[in-house]
Amino acid sequence: MFCLLRHPPIITPIGVQRQALLTERLRLDRLTKLRTVEQKTLKGINFFDPVDNALLHALQNSRVNIAGIRRADLLPLFDQLSPDRLSRQLRRLRDLGVIKRVAGTYRYYLTRIGRGATAALCRVTQTVIIPALA
């Protein structure tokens, strides 16, 4: 019987890195490219758009990960958005797979891809963009 512990497959570090980059690139494309859902074309996430950026930062709050967040909780944070527009933004994030709705409620929480996207947004903004502009 062939045992993987005694004879592990040989994978070069470059091959592992290439595979990881390809996987991350596919996830990024899934979030940022135009997408058709139920015969509607959805705009992908633009990490440099002030509304998308602020919405992702608001969803990244640790309190949201535990109890979820409602549209009514987000409205005071977004003076420039009407309740209808905020609902459309939340629907777009749901269709893109960034957030998920808690069954039987009006609460939302970040998915695994959504947590990764918001973490990447914060990291790139704080470590690359802001120091480059300083």
Q: What is the pLDDT of residue 82?
A: 93
Whether 39 maps to a domain, the answer reads no
**pLDDT for 78-113, tens place per residue?**
888 899 999 999 999 999 999 999 999 999 999 988
Q: What is the pLDDT of residue 86?
A: 94
Whether 63 maps to a domain, the answer reads yes
DSSP structure string for 43-81: ----TTSHHHHHHHHHHT-HHHHHH-B-HHHHGGG-TTS
Separation between Cα atoms, residue 20 and residue 14, nearest integer Å: 10
Q: What is the pLDDT of residue 14?
A: 64
Q: What is the pLDDT of residue 37?
A: 84
Residues of the chain below pLDDT 70: 1-22
Structural domain count of the chain: 1
Whether 32 maps to a domain, the answer reads no
Whether 38 maps to a domain, the answer reads no
Whether 14 maps to a domain, the answer reads no
Q: What is the pLDDT of residue 134?
A: 72
- Domain limits at 121? 46-133
User: Could you tell me the pTM of the whole model?
Assistant: 0.76
Whether 113 maps to a domain, the answer reads yes
Cβ atoms 60, 118 nearer than 8 A: yes
Residue 117's CATH number: 1.10.10.10
Whether 11 maps to a domain, the answer reads no
Whether 6 maps to a domain, the answer reads no
